[in-house]
Amino acid sequence: MDYLNHVKFNISLIFLASIYAAYTNFLNFHSFLKLWAGVVPYTFLITCDLDSSTSLVTKLWGPFKFIWRPFVDAGHREILHSIGWGPFILITPVWLILRFKFGIDVWEESIIGAVLALWGHILADKIYSNILEIKKIKIVKWVRRVF
Enumerate helices (H) and strands (E) in the chain, giving the number of each: 6, 0
Closest-CA residue to 107 (of 35, 21, 47, 45): 35
CA–CA distance, 46 with 65 (Å, rounded to integer): 11
Residue 73: predicted pLDDT:
82
Q: Where are the beta strands (DSSP E) in 76-116?
A: none
Tell me: pLDDT of 2 over 90: no
- What's the mean pLDDT in 75-88? 85
Tell me: pLDDT of 77 over 90: no
To the question of pTM greater than 0.85 for the whole model, the response is no
With bands split at pLDDT 50, 70 and 90, how would you rate the model's confidence at 142?
confident
Rg, C-alpha atoms of the chain: 18
CA–CA distance, 81 with 23 (Å, rounded to integer): 31
Q: Where are the domains of the chain?
A: 3-146
- The predicted-structure confidence for 18-72, as pLDDT tens digits, reads as follows 899 888 988 888 999 999 999 999 999 999 888 888 889 989 999 998 988 888 8
